[in-house]
A = this chain, B = another copy of it.
């Protein structure tokens, strides 16, 4: 044990750390084992949690017993339990025990994988796990992967690379005086695409949503028409973003056709497969993503549907030199002292600080193995298919979008109600289901009308949970109708 100053000016001594960390692990194991018994949504109003806590920071350090007790008594009751097996909101992401172990170790090592020598193992394990996942996804070796925090960052980096290619002299001169540019994505695409376009200085006008078809997939003919129209209007097409697994309906854009158009017009093709990407691990689902291997860049988030705690977003790029052109600036204090040429991951994005995120992904990929991942993803898809079948078989419910993956979008229909009343009825059903605390679903808007949405992605979710959700929905609908 190294010499330590007396607390509170020193760190928790190692033996005290061991004691409190064991106590914490016991809570964690109990929580993960029992989360299904808790209400999914907390029973709190805005401000409740904050009001339960002191307004000012403590003058004197407090015992960790007290802090841990406050965590259990004041924080946990204000948590929305994403771990709950009946959490069907957003994309139902799930961590996993092995992933948590990886995060525990990463937090302890506390290294920064900005340059190779600031932590060689962190840089090389990131390269390795990115390549392992690439192999699992069936993407060609020409894709070079790095791990970012979120798809919002990965997509922004990809579009920054696209901007470098479309405006070779903007790197020096900026966008001032350049021909206005356009990025295309379907009208179903994630808000992160528009945020990236705004961030990069292209403005809202630089983002052109392309109409989608009745199954919420980008219409290639509309994309071609938009590009032609924009070119004629003196605009510069920069990139097209195809989405594999849109947020509202998990629709899969026809990426092969979009790739043809991107190639024809010399546009960067970015594929947002943050949610849908892991489906490529499953042999019978891989064809849903056919054509994505022709993209310039692809984002896949293991923290969504691959059992890795947030945050973990893979950005694969076939033109990494465009990425590093956008982001590589090496100051003296980060230059290699021996002038050696190692690959420094800070050069592939905005953030210099880079956590050791590959560790948790390595734990997850090793714990499950390819077969385990395939088996579990299949189960999620099967559970979603079952829910879809119940909806299809029920006279008062309709599925409003296909279910290619594990997210089901549906609506209660009462023929006596007009559109707005129908929307209100569905929102009432949503509130009734969610207020039971036994399940959590969210709403979205498709074709201008409210739809309900259940995303199945948690490791703890079983057929029983999905069957219970269906019962809750039916009961709520009957109550509202009665």
For the complex formed by this chain, how many copies does it contain in all? Answer: 2
Closest to A61 in B: B369
CA distance A121 to B43 in the complex (A): 11
Q: A237 an interface residue at 8 Å Cβ cutoff?
A: no
The 10 closest A-B pairs by CB, nearest first: A201-B201, A174-B203, A8-B372, A78-B121, A12-B97, A14-B33, A18-B29, A150-B353, A103-B107, A332-B445
Q: A160-B199, A191-B331, A337-B442 are in contact. List 15 more A-B contacts (CB 8 A).
A: A4-B460, A15-B33, A21-B28, A21-B100, A44-B121, A57-B365, A57-B366, A60-B372, A67-B98, A149-B355, A152-B351, A174-B202, A192-B350, A195-B329, A337-B430
Find chain B residues with CB under 8 A from A44 CB: 120-121
Closest to A58 in B: B369
On chain A, which size bracket covers the interface?
Answer: 35 or more
> What's the nearest-Cβ distance from chain B to residue A157, in Å?
9
Asked whether A82 and B107 contact (CB < 8 A) given A11-B460, A444-B333, A445-B332, the answer is: no
Find chain B residues with CB under 8 A from A132 CB: 56-57
Find chain B residues with CB under 8 A from A33 CB: 1-2, 14-15
Q: A476 an interface residue at 8 Å Cβ cutoff?
A: no
CB-contact partner of A112 in B75, B90, B371, under 8 A? B90
> B67–A363 contact, CB under 8 A?
yes
Q: A327 an interface residue at 8 Å Cβ cutoff?
A: yes
21 example contacts (A-B, Cβ-Cβ < 8 A) are as follows A2-B460, A7-B372, A18-B26, A21-B101, A24-B105, A57-B366, A58-B369, A59-B369, A61-B372, A62-B367, A68-B101, A79-B120, A152-B350, A153-B350, A175-B203, A176-B203, A195-B352, A199-B326, A199-B327, A201-B201, A311-B355
> A105–B28 contact, CB under 8 A?
yes
> What's the nearest-Cβ distance from chain B to residue A209, in Å?
12
> A195–B120 contact, CB under 8 A?
no
Main secondary structure of the interface of A (DSSP, over half): helix
Q: A117 an interface residue at 8 Å Cβ cutoff?
A: yes
1/0 contact trace for A97-141 toward B, CB 8 Å? Answer: 111110111011111100011111110110110001101100000
Q: A475 an interface residue at 8 Å Cβ cutoff?
A: no
Asked whether A75 and B121 contact (CB < 8 A) given A21-B100, A199-B199, the answer is: yes
Q: Name the interface residues of A63-100: CB closer than 8 Å to any CB of B.
A: 64, 66-68, 71, 74-83, 85, 89-90, 93-100
Q: A255 an interface residue at 8 Å Cβ cutoff?
A: no
Q: A416 an interface residue at 8 Å Cβ cutoff?
A: no
> B205–A172 contact, CB under 8 A?
yes
Q: A420 an interface residue at 8 Å Cβ cutoff?
A: no
CB-contact partner of A50 in B128, B201, B307, B309, under 8 A? B128
> B198–A199 contact, CB under 8 A?
no
